[in-house]
Structure 1
Amino acid sequence: MSLSKPLSNPVSEPRSISRFADLPTLFAAITASPDFIRAFGDPIPLTIVESGEQAGEHDMPEPLAVQAECGAVIAAIFDLFTGTRLEPLAPDIAWGFVNSFHFVANKLERREERFTDEIRRMMREPDLSEVYNSELEEKQLRVQSTTEQREAIEVMRDYAAGMYRAQSGWAWSPAKGSKASPVNTATQVAVQDYLRARGLAERERYVPQGPIVVASGHAVWHDWQPIWDRLDAIHARIPHMMLVTTAQRRGFDAIVASWAGARGVPMVAYTLPGGGRSAPYKRNRKMVELRPVEAVLGEGSGIQDNLYQLMRKADVPIHAFRKADQAPAQSVGRPGAQHRRRAA
């Protein structure tokens, strides 16, 4: 058994240790990353912890302690289940833990926007009363306090997501919505946000720039190494590439997402536009309209065949993989396990 712990940020190569009991020693030997120091090390003097409370001085958790615990919880889940009949469930449990941070961060972001809208309304109708000034100062502090909370939770989410990737071999991605953060390895962006924000400078962090490479394949796919090798070759030729996938959390798309996480390549998960039987075919047409420079496609259903034909008609160079060319599943092993052994 081995546990992997990313040191200063989730992008770095994980460091292996032999036993879960070694984690405290490892944590004692590291320093908090700049992201944790920024989010936890210099809090604003006064904060409002919850709506309705008076402003007060409240300490932040110690940066290194937060960083260590975020990694330790994810590692503990995998350590507890390893070698038991529950081992296949460890990635799902750990994924939910990371997703809880994402859920809370989104909730805080919505609260931030609501407070900001209230301030804008007050600024449009200013007056010189003491009550007005007091209320405006309180709302400003509530916005600052909420922003500080959100940024702290986002840093914890991103670090836990890096630990999840190191343990499972798969890149973490949210169940819905966007995850855009300056420390992400593979920024997963819901395509609705991507298209809506493309022309808005104030939301530039949601818009990865670069030549687009489309990657899509069957939900049942186990041979990850040839896909990683081909993507590595494309990345060597197109270092500023951006991946667009068909948003499946299993199989071919999940292998592609794991590669993006390991290589720090931005990725857009193109979800289905609406419902109905025609939705996958509409998505295929929209992906071609993005004008990709190359496509990496795995053999699949009629929907996959349709995407292949559309790419050919648009003269997009295609790297095609057939299911029959895969190595036997028992000789290839689970992608996450193979990745952990190679990283170790």
Structure 2
Amino acid sequence: MTFSLHAFSSSDTTFDVQAAALEDPRPHPTEAALVQLGHALATELLDLIADTALEDVQTILCESLIGAFHSAAGRIEREADRARDRMRALERDFDGSEMADTELQEATRATRSADVAQAAAELIRDAAADAYTVQTGQVWTAWRGSRRGTRLTAAELEAKQVVRAAEKRRAAAGEVSGPIVAFRAAPSADGAEDARRIFDALNWAKAQWPDMALATTGARGAERLAIRWAQQKHVTLVLARADFDRHGKSAPFRANDELLALEPTCCLTLAQSLDADRPGRTQPFGPALNLAQLAQARGVRHLAIQAKAA
């Protein structure tokens, strides 16, 4: 399998222009080639293990593949930050000498090069994640750390990070963060009718609050459907993941506390699949009921997603 390398032209993307501006004698892969690579990696893996004994662990294999590029992007970002710190120090102590000028130019080059390399890793990651979603219906989310958006996906943030940032803003200038819509749903509520009503509810919310962010725990099933909607609509995601290692069985309920700490404008819940024949529908999903009760007790607007009236 081959991928074309950079050939600068007026039709190049922002990434291509940024890469060409490095003036590196070695060519950079184009954005299209990087996206093609990400799609190919995920597609070939899925095609290879389909209808084999490894199909049972395809989620683990695919998410590990995508996560590897996410981890690589994080490592490159840390290298870029170190180069940026060095560049700032050299700028601060610049004495006009030829040696200082050379060191500053090298640090600047290293910073810009790392920024491009990070963007490349993110393009491969997001393209692989997109192909994974298209072929399996599953959504990949980073287990640790935040994920900035590319042209393919929405931004993705940690709930703790958003809460800390909001607290800092309020302390500094009394700013109020943008509207956040919290969503919790039963993992089994991922049938066709569930998806339609979830998307209807989220589309309604976006019509009410066009600059909304979507907050959820990222749990499998219905909440992954909501994440797919956010990615398609380029709505920022805030993930309050359940920390089972720390909180054990109470983790899904502790995650609700994080969601409410975000001070959501509205909470949407779907405690039970709308398909009466759906497996796992026997009992309503406790964490979704809990979020509804907590929201109502605190005076937060709450809407339960229901079947469409005949």
TM range (shorter): 0.7 to 0.9
Corresponding residue number in structure 1 for 2:228: 258
- SS of 2:246's partner is coil
Residue of structure 2 aligned with 1:66, choices 31, 34, 38: 34
Query: Judging changes above 3 Å, is the alpha-carbon distance between structure 1 residues 231 and 275 closer, same or farther for their aligned structure 2 residues?
Result: same
Report 1:127-206 matches (<5 A). 127-198=95-166
**Cα displacement (A) at 1:95:** 1.8
Structure 1 residues not aligned, in runs of 5+: 1-22, 29-33, 48-56, 202-208, 323-344
**Aligned-CA RMSD value:** 3.3
TM-score, scaled relative to structure 2: 0.75
Q: Which whole-Å deviations, capped at 9, do the CAs of 1:270-317 have from their partners, x for residues lacking one?
A: 13589346765554234224133232242323x544322111213422
- SS of 1:243's partner is strand
Q: Which whole-Å deviations, capped at 9, do the CAs of 1:239-258 have from their partners, x for residues lacking one?
A: 2242211232x233233323
Query: Judging changes above 3 Å, is the alpha-carbon distance between structure 1 residues 221 and 279 closer, same or farther for their aligned structure 2 residues?
Result: closer
Residue type of the alignment partner of 2:203? A
Q: Distance in 2 between matches of 1:255 and 1:63?
A: 28
- SS of 1:117's partner is helix
**Cα displacement (A) at 1:96:** 1.7
Query: Judging changes above 3 Å, is the alpha-carbon distance between structure 1 residues 124 and 311 closer, same or farther for their aligned structure 2 residues?
Result: same
Q: Which whole-Å deviations, capped at 9, do the CAs of 1:160-206 have from their partners, x for residues lacking one?
A: 221111111122211211111242434321123323445899xxxxx
Corresponding residue number in structure 2 for 1:275: 246
Corresponding residue number in structure 2 for 1:313: 297
Question: Does the 8 Å contact 1:297/1:308 carry over to 2?
Answer: no
Query: Judging changes above 3 Å, is the alpha-carbon distance between structure 1 residues 127 and 99 closer, same or farther for their aligned structure 2 residues?
Result: same
Corresponding residue number in structure 1 for 2:264: 291
Question: Does the 8 Å contact 1:212/1:242 carry over to 2?
Answer: yes
Query: Judging changes above 3 Å, is the alpha-carbon distance between structure 1 residues 66 and 272 closer, same or farther for their aligned structure 2 residues?
Result: closer
Residue of structure 2 aligned with 1:236, choices 203, 206, 222: 203
Residue of structure 2 aligned with 1:82, choices 50, 55, 62: 50
- Tell me the matched-pair count: 274
- SS of 1:194's partner is helix
Q: Distance in 2 between matches of 1:142 and 1:35?
A: 26
Residue of structure 2 aligned with 1:224, choices 191, 206, 229: 191
Residue type of the alignment partner of 2:197? R
Q: Distance in 2 between matches of 1:198 and 1:297?
A: 28
Q: Distance in 2 between matches of 1:258 and 1:224?
A: 14
TM-score, scaled relative to structure 1: 0.68
Question: Does the 8 Å contact 1:245/1:270 carry over to 2?
Answer: yes
Residue type of the alignment partner of 1:81? I
